Amino acid sequence: MIRSSMARWIVGAFGLLLVLGLLRFKPWQEEVVRPRQQLTVGFLPVTCHLTCPVTDFATKTSTSTRFQSQRFTDFPTVVEAIKGGRLEASFMIAPLAMKMREQGLPIKIVYLGHRDGSTVIVRKDIPARSLVDLRGKTFAIPSIYSNQYLVIRKLMEDQGVGADEIKFVQMAPPDMPAALAAKAIDAYFVGEPHAAKAELDGSGRVLYYAKDIWPHFISCVLVVHEKLIKEHPDVVRDLVRGIAESGEWAETHRLAAAKVASPYFRQDEKVVRYVLTQPKDRVSYRMLTPTDEDMLVIRDMAIKVGILKTPIAMSDLIDREFIPKDIRPADIDMAGAGK
């Protein structure tokens, strides 16, 4: 008795696994043969990384290297994936890229993700006009390794607000609008669309656009592993060109870009469209060459607030080798977009 009913359970359990495995891997679907080279590029569903899914979409049909965008939900996982050798290219926040380099991880910044595109939001019922009015308030940032944090610290200095006069908390960007609505925090600085969300909800208003604080603000960069640069420089070249041309296209086709990207982000197209158009210069995808000057500012601020220890050399960090001379808008066929 025990044998037969136990046996039935054992067979049932492994049968279930088999059925699930079949449903999952669908071995009856023949693998599409891809003669083309292929590279996976990591990104997070933030507007700063918009060019990544756009490039994915563009290379679906192109003949050059196929870039497969891989959505992540947080940066630590991205870092771990790169460390583990499972990911060779990704978008990430600039100070984090420096931190990885400082830790001896052989990565290079080859391009920028965007300019601007971050926003300081305050609660609607707080009549703040500058950081001075936010003394004693709680302020959320995505991470102390984020550029947003560095920039706010710089701005506090400029406005004469002491380092401990604002209470900083680190918080996952998607939680920020809810925390603001619940009045658990008073203000936050984050990449879009997490700022626009509070605006659309009616619980927050814009205090500063990034461009008001630091014109051509940089938060995210494109990093690639040196191994990839060494072994497949042509792929890296294709990638940077693809990202650059996608950026140029997104700059001029904002509504179409929202349509292409929102399924990749799995976000409401309305929100993405709002970020890309209200106002138009909330975020920009031009002038994406990482200059030593820009990066030095970030590096020095990072050292000042204590998240970096050594002044890493720009030549170790940046590789501008792959940036194309002339950038034309990508030729994107909108058939199949938005799905």
Partner 1 sequence: MTETKRTSGERVLPVAVVIGSLLLWWGLAAAHVFPESLFPDPLAVGKGVVEEVITGRLFNDLVASLFRVTAGFLLAVVLGIPLGLVLGSYGRARAALLPAVNFFRNLSPLAWIPFAILWFGIGDSPAVFLIFMASFFPIVLATVAAVATIPMVYFRVAHDYGLTGGEMLMRVTLPAIAPQVITVLRVTAGLAWVVVVAAEMIAGRDGLGFAIWDARNGLRIDLLVSGMIVIGLIGVVIDRLLFRLTRIPSVRWGYER
Is there binding between residue 99 and partner 1 (CB under 8 A)? no
Q: Interacting stretch for partner 1, rule CB under 8 A, among 10-18, 126-134, 183-191, 322-330?
A: 10-18
Contact characters 182-221, partner 1, x per CB under 8 A: x----------xx--x--xxxx------------------
The kind and range of the H/E element at 323 are none
Query: Site for partner 1 (CB under 8 A): which residue of 13, 132, 169, 296?
Result: 13
Q: Which residues of 282-298 are buried (b: 16+ CB within 10 A; e: fewer)?
A: bbbbeebebeeebbebb
Q: Interacting stretch for partner 1, rule CB under 8 A, among 71-79, 122-130, 141-149, 211-219?
A: 71-79
The kind and range of the H/E element at 268 are none
Is there binding between residue 271 and partner 1 (CB under 8 A)? yes
Q: Interacting stretch for partner 1, rule CB under 8 A, among 49-57, 74-82, 147-155, 228-236?
A: 74-82
Is there binding between residue 27 and partner 1 (CB under 8 A)? no
CA dihedral defined by 183, 74, 277, 187, rounded to 10 degrees? 20
Based on CB atoms, which residue is closest to partner 1, 169 or 287?
169
What separation in angstroms does the CA of 64 have from each of 40, 53, 87, 264, 331? 14, 16, 20, 21, 13
What separation in angstroms does the CA of 45 have from each of 32, 56, 189? 27, 14, 16
Q: Which residue has the tokens 């926040």?
A: 93
How is residue 8 written in tokens?
């039935």
**Binding-site residue total for partner 1 (CB under 8 A)?**
51
We find the least distance from the C-beta atom of residue 66 to partner 1, in angstroms, to be 16
Based on CB atoms, which residue is closest to partner 1, 65 or 203?
203
8 Å CB contact between 111 and 181: no
Based on CB atoms, which residue is closest to partner 1, 194 or 299?
194
Q: Interacting stretch for partner 1, rule CB under 8 A, among 78-86, 104-112, 156-164, 291-299?
A: 78-86
CA–CA dist 13, 42 (Å, integer): 36
